[in-house]
Amino acid sequence: MEQTPMTPRGEQLLRQELERLKTVERPRIVAAIAEARSHGDLSENAEYDAAKEEQGLCEARIKDIESKLASANVIDVTKLRPAAGQSKKVVFGCTVTVLNVDTDKEITYKIVGEDEADITHNLISYKTPIAKGFLGKVEDDEVTISIPKGQVTYDIIKVEYIS
């Protein structure tokens, strides 16, 4: 089974979603199905069909989360310490501040698991081209990354192992 890397925060968010699905959503859907059944003929009952479809989606998401948690490789970057005299390396879970050489804009990204990724909060999946370009690099490295719009060059300004 392939391991799913995630941060402690990512694991916590998945566990919270799983708990909500099992204790709130699942009982609500079961009640909706029972209510729809009480209306009689199921062959033309839109509420029943909708509730059954929602149940299928809910159960699929529960299985997906349980599978991810079972194969989780939780990486707590705050416990990493570079060897004396070594620069901090860009790794999964770290926060990296970079300077776009072309636009002179500074931006900070946190490299996270797929379920945590949220570009509006600068949380990027480790599978993105940008994150892949940064991984393994150290402060002061210059990185050129191919993206759909062409190529972009970044200077790595700072690497932090913070939560």
| Pairwise CA distance, residues 25 & 19, whole Å | 9
Contacts of 63 (CB under 8 A, 6+ apart): none
| Pairwise CA distance, residues 55 & 96, whole Å | 40
Amino acid at 111: I
CATH architecture of 4-74: Orthogonal Bundle (1.10)
Q: Residue with structure tokens 């500074």?
A: 106
Question: What does the pLDDT look like over 100-152, one tens digit per residue?
Answer: 999 999 999 999 999 999 999 999 999 999 999 999 999 999 999 998 889 99
pLDDT > 90 in the chain, percent:
75
Q: Is the distance from CB of 95 to CB of 160 less than 8 angstroms?
A: yes
**Domain 77-160: which CATH number of 3.40.605.10, 3.40.50.300, 3.30.530.20, 3.10.50.30:** 3.10.50.30
11 burial (CB, 10 Å; 0-12 / 13-18 / 19+) is buried
Model confidence at 46: pLDDT above 90: no
Model confidence at 1: pLDDT above 70: no
Model pTM above 0.75: yes
Domain ranges of the chain: 4-74, 77-160
pLDDT-derived band at 84, boundaries 50, 70, 90 = low
